[in-house]
Amino acid sequence: MRRDDERLQDILEAIESAGRFASGRSRKDLDADELLTAGLVHMIVVIGEAAAAVSERTKSGLPDLPWRGMMGMRNVVVHAYWRVDLDALWRTVEHDLAELAAGVRRALRRSGED
């Protein structure tokens, strides 16, 4: 079984991958590039799966991270794939993931201090 710090690292790596996928790209590219869309959706799934696997104890100790949001977005792209809002996906990648990465990095630094 993977430890919580490993799950946090999985989240960070998925964020970094999404950033590389989107680098130099625009929202219009999501409509034109099926692989870009699939790659970004997959990274959202990875983030949500890893978030869901983090223990409740760790989640409660990191209330600044949007646990419900990470898991909720994953649930939408997995269970309601036909209604994935590409505008929302792009906003998440372009704006929200940088802040999430910063929070995860802080959490990983703290876990390394234990």
Count CA atoms within 13 Å of residue 24 on its CB side.
Answer: 2
- In this prediction the pTM is 0.94
Separation CA 107–CA 2 (nearest Å): 16
What is Dmax (Cα atoms) for the chain?
A: 46
Domain boundaries, the chain: 4-113
**Could you report the per-residue pLDDT of 58-73, keeping only the tens digit for each?**
999 999 999 999 999 9
Whether residue 48 contacts residue 70, with contact meaning beta carbons closer than 8 Å, is answered with yes
Across the range 94-103, mean pLDDT stands at 97
Separation CA 98–CA 103 (nearest Å): 9
Separation CA 87–CA 56 (nearest Å): 31
Q: How confident is the model at residue 113 (pLDDT cuts 50, 70, 90)?
A: low
**Could you report the per-residue pLDDT of 67-90, keeping only the tens digit for each?**
999 999 999 999 998 889 999 999
Query: Which residues contact residue 26 at a Cβ distance below 8 angstroms, ignoring those fewer than 6 apart?
Result: none
